[in-house]
Structure 1
Amino acid sequence: MDPGKWVLWGLLLVLAGLLGNVVWVLSVRRLYRPRTAPPQLLRARCQDGWEIAIHARRAPKRRFEEPVLLCHGLAANRFTFDFAPPYSVAHYLADAGFDCFSVEWRGTGHSRQPPPGRRSTDFTIDDHILQDAPALLELALKETGAKRAFWLGHSMGGLVGYAVAQGPQAPRLAGLLVLGSPVFFKSEPLMRSLLSLGVRAAWPGSFRQEWMSATLAPFLGYVNLPLSELLVNPEHIPPPIQRQVFANMMSSMSRKVLLQFQDWIEHDAFRSYDGQVDWRAGLSRLTLPVLVMGGSSDRLATAENVRKQYELLASSSDRTLHVFGRDRGDKMDYGHGDLMFGTGAPLEVYPLIGKWLKDRATPLPKREEQPAPSPTLSA
């Protein structure tokens, strides 16, 4: 056969494979989409022109003045906290009387579109702290009429909260809840190697692993993916939930963000991209109420890690530490993602979060308790 025809047939096979994968992923996402009413989709413009998406889950009957800001971690999106009940912190807290606002950081989900002249991957964690967070706070406080808000962050979302609490937005925070957020980064060789591989895979701009996650999602629960125990305790998350999570919650990672994490791991630091601001040192100056939570089997934010960061918060007169695990009488030992999606999470993690918030929130007078407004735009 003519070599040119071999090349043509090869190209046709590649195109057919790509098209088949597109159809497969779209079908998987439709099949495994969360079966629940979507939140209200709002948009906030940052000072640098980037527009971020914020998903509002209103309380059926609002009982507390302060809203709760739900902030996801690296390679995730708003489904971290706003999923299908019972595995949904947003639904749990909304039913308790809190208006909830789940952010999608720039470059993620509905916040991918950059302003003119910027690339969709041209940002660092500093931008989440200095640009996205003020826009999130401004919108949530404007929507609710509150003066302050509670910040609940998982993994990187908690780290962003720690940094925001040290800056000009601090007076707007009523309290900070961090869930599986490591501030010490002296990591095992395996994690260093994986992150180095991720940085290479993200060249020139981002690592779009969400497509691979959706492709493999239907097989989860039947087989365990390599290294999955770094992210979750597979025995703690029901197979149908694993499939839903991997089909919906994963998002791409900016190369600059990965480079920043690489710097933190190589130098055991928690600092700005240029190295000028040491956010870990700043923890000792925080005075707002803080709830530090972790999982006994979390390999990314180990129990020792969360205990050490709790010790740094000595200036806060209202600080609480809770490591979920069997040694505390919990259902199972919790990994990183189990803190939201483990079978015990709605029974053990969510109630602790809810009680902590209720004990510190400002109750609305009975006559001012407000029904949820009708959404103007849904995701």
Structure 2
Amino acid sequence: MGDWGWVVWVLVAGLVLALGNVLWVVLVRRWYRLRTPLPQALKARCADGWELTVHVRRAPKRRFEEPVLLCHGLAANRFTFDFEPPYSVAHYLAEAGFDCFSVEWRGTGHSRLPPPGRRYTDFTIDDHVHQDGPALIELALRETGAKRAFWLGHSLGGLVGYAVAQGPEGAKLAGLLTLGAPVHFKSEPFLRTLISLGVRAAWPGRLRQEWMSASLAPFLGYVTLPLSDLVVNPLHIPPRIQRQVYANMMSSMSRKVLLQFQDWIEHDAFRSFDRATDWRAGISRLQLPLLVMGGSADRLATAENVESQYALVTSQDRTLHVFGRDHGDKMDYGHGDLIFGSGAPQEVYPLIRDWLVRHATDVSASEQKAPEAPASSG
């Protein structure tokens, strides 16, 4: 066989392997799909023309005026909050009487397609703050008729919430709840190496790690992936839930977003892409109600990180809670354990619900306060 013959065989073998992997991932996602009624899917158009898909879980009986905006973190999607009960914050809060709006940030899931003239990886965290956040708030308020909304963000979703609250849209927020959101970034060799590898692997546009996650999902619970406890602690999450999370929830990462994280890690900063706006310094100026939450075993947003973050807050209405055994909880919560840990529906979700209930406006009370229409004459 000549040289060209070997090349052809290699290309054919590569094509067969690629097609086999595509079929495998399709079957895995089909097998581990979530068996729960789909939420309502709405479109929110950003000022720059990018359309976001927002998944709405309506309350069976709406008790509270303010909707809850559920904002996922890096490399995730709407399934962070809108999963299969009992591991679904959206279902839990909807049953409590809140309309829930789960966003998928631009470049993620159903919000992947860019407007004409833009690449689907051409965005930074600044775009989440200045474009996506305002569009999400506007949609939720328009759909519910409310004047303000609550923002609940996990990891990057909490960081975006901090930044949005510092802008003109901050007045439209009734409260901000952050869950495992690290506003301090230690420049440790391990983190620097990890983010550097991520930036290189994402060349030229994005890191498609969700493909690998779905490919390996069926083996979780039998084997433990390296560094898996950075995302979710496999000891705290039922095996089938692990497999469903990795098959459904992981998303690709924009190289520009990773470059921004690299800047934060190397310089212990939480700031805009052009380094002109210091969002961490702005936290001290926030005066809206704040609930800052973390996990005692979280390696990305450590307990010390969350506590020092809380120390920046000057709002009169502020609360800190670190979930862990030292606080009487059943486990030491890691990063993803705060949502998918076996104890989360009994320990984390109720605290979120109770805080929201205390700060929300009862629908019946707001209706009673509404002025009556003047009687017509003649």
Q: Are residues 1:143 and 2:139 paired? A: no
Determine the C-alpha separation between the residues in 1 that align with 2:255 and 2:191.
16
Q: Are residues 1:222 and 2:227 paired? A: no
- What residue in structure 2 maps to residue 105 of structure 1? 105
- What residue in structure 2 maps to residue 186 of structure 1? 186
- Structure with max Cα Rg: 2
Q: Are residues 1:127 and 2:119 paired? A: no
Determine the C-alpha separation between the residues in 1 that align with 2:308 and 2:143.
36
Once the two structures are superposed, residues 28-63 of structure 1 have per-residue CA deviations (whole angstroms, 9 ceiling, x without a partner) of 001001110010000011000000110000000000
- What residue in structure 2 maps to residue 377 of structure 1? none
Matches within 5 A, 1:1-379: 1-314=1-314, 316-365=315-364
CA contact (8 A) 2:187 2:267 kept: no
Determine the C-alpha separation between the residues in 2 that align with 1:167 and 1:182.
20
| Alignment-mate amino acid for residue 318 of structure 1 | D
Structure 1 residue 366, shift from structure 2 partner: 7.4
Determine the C-alpha separation between the residues in 1 that align with 2:37 and 2:299.
34
Determine the C-alpha separation between the residues in 1 that align with 2:307 and 2:98.
28
Structure 1 length as normaliser, TM-score? 0.96
Determine the C-alpha separation between the residues in 1 that align with 2:10 and 2:272.
47
Once the two structures are superposed, residues 224-267 of structure 1 have per-residue CA deviations (whole angstroms, 9 ceiling, x without a partner) of 00111222221101110000000000000000000000000000
- Which 5+ residue runs of structure 1 have no aligned equivalent? 370-379
Once the two structures are superposed, residues 57-100 of structure 1 have per-residue CA deviations (whole angstroms, 9 ceiling, x without a partner) of 00000000000000000000000000000000000000000000
Determine the C-alpha separation between the residues in 2 that align with 1:142 and 1:229.
39
Determine the C-alpha separation between the residues in 2 that align with 1:174 and 1:208.
36
CA contact (8 A) 2:53 2:104 kept: yes
- Which 5+ residue runs of structure 2 have no aligned equivalent? 369-378
Determine the C-alpha separation between the residues in 1 that align with 2:166 and 2:77.
24
Determine the C-alpha separation between the residues in 2 that align with 1:334 and 1:367.
38
Determine the C-alpha separation between the residues in 1 that align with 2:366 and 2:169.
31
Determine the C-alpha separation between the residues in 1 that align with 2:365 and 2:354.
19
Aligned length: 368
Question: More displaced, 256-265 or 222-231?
Answer: 222-231
Q: Which aligned runs of 4 or more in structure 1 are off by greater than 4 angstroms? A: 366-369
Determine the C-alpha separation between the residues in 2 that align with 1:12 and 1:110.
32
Once the two structures are superposed, residues 310-343 of structure 1 have per-residue CA deviations (whole angstroms, 9 ceiling, x without a partner) of 01002x0100000000111111110000000000
Determine the C-alpha separation between the residues in 2 that align with 1:312 and 1:193.
29
Structure 1 residue 222, shift from structure 2 partner: 0.5
CA contact (8 A) 1:55 1:102 kept: yes
- Name the SS for the 2:56 alignment partner: strand
Structure 1 residue 280, shift from structure 2 partner: 0.4
CA contact (8 A) 2:122 2:256 kept: yes
CA contact (8 A) 1:82 1:88 kept: yes
| Alignment-mate amino acid for residue 328 of structure 2 | G
Give the root-mean-square deviation of aligned CA atoms: 1.1
| Alignment-mate amino acid for residue 331 of structure 2 | M
Determine the C-alpha separation between the residues in 2 that align with 1:78 and 1:324.
23
Structure 1 residue 190, shift from structure 2 partner: 1.0
| Alignment-mate amino acid for residue 173 of structure 1 | L
Structure 1 residue 188, shift from structure 2 partner: 2.4
- What residue in structure 1 maps to residue 374 of structure 2? none
CA contact (8 A) 1:180 1:306 kept: yes
CA contact (8 A) 1:232 1:298 kept: no
